[in-house]
Amino acid sequence: MADAAPGPQRPKLRVAVLISGGGSNMAALLGAAAAADFPAEIALVLSNRADAGGLAKAAAAGVATAVVDHRAFPDRDSFDAAIDAELARHGIEFVCLAGFMRLLTEGFTDRWRDRMINVHPSLLPLFKGLHTHQRALDAGVRFHGCTVHFVRFGMDEGPIIVQAAVPVLAGDDADSLAARVLAMEHKIYPLALRLVGEGRAVVDGERVRIEGEGAAPGGMLWPAG
Ligand code: GAR
């Protein structure tokens, strides 16, 4: 009898990606999830805005989409309950926030504790909130970057899984810096989801331990001389 084809160690994690806009991070996750050995499948893309550009990209890729318009609900609890109902309807086990620009209630973040991650365009805990690139420029930092972290109730708070740093260049404005950071977001988000899906990113207290961490680069310095 022929050997069975090699398969994944565990069933793929059923993931929903929550977006509010263009969805370039969602597209990066979809691209990564196309690999046979990726431990997660994107089973749903949900947006609070019907006009979010990412919805069309997801539909074109054959992924189920849903719109839960926050303006249709009287308060945050009922909005979050409607999101939860969609997630349940699609058998979702894990949530990726990817440019989802609504604050979630404590009930929701507690229900999805250690089962929900977010990408943020700064090296957290620096520059939580909005306008991170301009704030990095104003602060005069030499390195800026992005973070993927487990979600806690506090805005842009929670155990950090992966970060990427980029240099801040002399001629940068917020747009050029944002583009450099976004390119790295597209690398670290799929990496973080892979680490979680493979069971290698373990929440330990309020820090993340990475099992079988790879070789570390040397330090970076900027400006170089
Ligand atoms: C990304 O830069 C993401 O880090 C940011 O919104 C952008 C969404 O872009 N998220 C936040 O600021 C949340 N705090 P995308 O729709 O092209 O992925």
Atom of ligand 1 at shortest range from CA of 23: 16
Whole-model pTM? 0.95
**pLDDT value for 217:** 86
Q: How far is the CA of 225 from the centre of ligand 1 (A)?
A: 33
- Residues lining ligand 1, judged by CB closer than 6 Å? 19, 21-25, 54, 98-99, 119-121, 156, 182, 185
- Residue whose CA is closest, atom 12 of ligand 1? 120
- Cβ neighbours, 10 Å, residue 113: 14
Q: How far is the CA of 1 from the centre of ligand 1 (A)?
A: 50
**pLDDT value for 131:** 98
User: Out of 70, 90, 120, 131, which one is annotated catalytic?
Assistant: 120
Per-residue pLDDT of the chain (225 residues; tens, 9 = 90+): 344 454 546 899 999 999 999 999 999 999 999 999 999 999 999 999 999 999 999 999 999 999 999 999 999 999 999 999 999 999 999 999 999 999 999 999 999 999 999 999 999 999 999 999 999 999 999 999 999 999 999 999 999 999 999 999 999 999 999 999 999 999 999 999 999 999 999 999 999 999 999 899 899 999 998
Identify whether 120 is a catalytic site residue. yes
Atom of ligand 1 at shortest range from CA of 128: 14
